[in-house]
Amino acid sequence: MSHPSVLISAYLDGELNRDEVGRLLDHLAACGQCAAELEATQHVRTAVRSLPMMELPGGVVSEADPVVVPLLRNRGFLVGAAAATAAVVIAVAALLTPAPTSVTVSDLNSRFGARVSLDPAFGPAKVVVPEIVQVGG
């Protein structure tokens, strides 16, 4: 067996079957160079895994591993859901909003009539005539 660097990497990834593992371990027992390579590779992997996780900047995700793409789909769904929720909130608010205080023509007549009665010109020339006493129009 030549120096099986590929098998060492696969071994560390857990990708070898039992027979392959047996053959590799036999070789490592006899080959100091490959045993040293196994140890070195393990150190590198351990060091890499100990590094802190960093978030990808925006725009990188679309070029990243296709496995990440479903996140984009989830993001669209969340935005849609938020918009729908906002729409529902507005609709409910509209339904629950009390109607503005209703002001009637009678209210206007009453107030205007009261104020006119303080006017120096108040009298027969300024009588406010409510709708209910009109005879024509």
Partner 1 sequence: MRKLVALTVGLVMIPASAMASDLEELLERGHEASYSAEQIITCSNPDGIADAVLRLSQSGGDLHVAAPVSSDVEITTGYGGWVLSQAGSVVSSTELDSSEDPADPRYTVDDGTPAAFLGRRATQFEMRDGDTLRARLIFDNETGALLKALTFVGDGEVYCERRFIAFNPTPPTIEMVEVDNDNRLWRSDVETELPEDLAWFSRLDVYSDEDGFAFGYYSDGFFSFAIFETPSVVALDEASQFQIDHGVYRVSYSPGQVIYVWETLSGGLAMIGDLPPDMHEAVLTGLPAPERRGWLGNVWKSLFG
Number of residues located near partner 1, criterion CB under 8 A = 44
On whether the CB atoms of residues 90 and 111 are closer than 8 A, the answer is: no
Copy the structure tokens of residue 67. Answer: 């496995």
Q: Enumerate residues 60-99 that contact partner 1 by CB under 8 A.
A: 90, 93-94, 97-99
Burial (CB < 10 A; 0-12, 13-18, 19+), residue 35, is middle
Q: Should residue 48 be labelled a site residue for partner 1 when binding is judged by CB under 8 A?
A: no
* C-beta of 30 vs 93, nearer to partner 1: 93
On whether the CB atoms of residues 75 and 42 are closer than 8 A, the answer is: no
Q: Should residue 111 be labelled a site residue for partner 1 when binding is judged by CB under 8 A?
A: yes
Binding site for partner 1 (CB under 8 A): 90, 93-94, 97-137
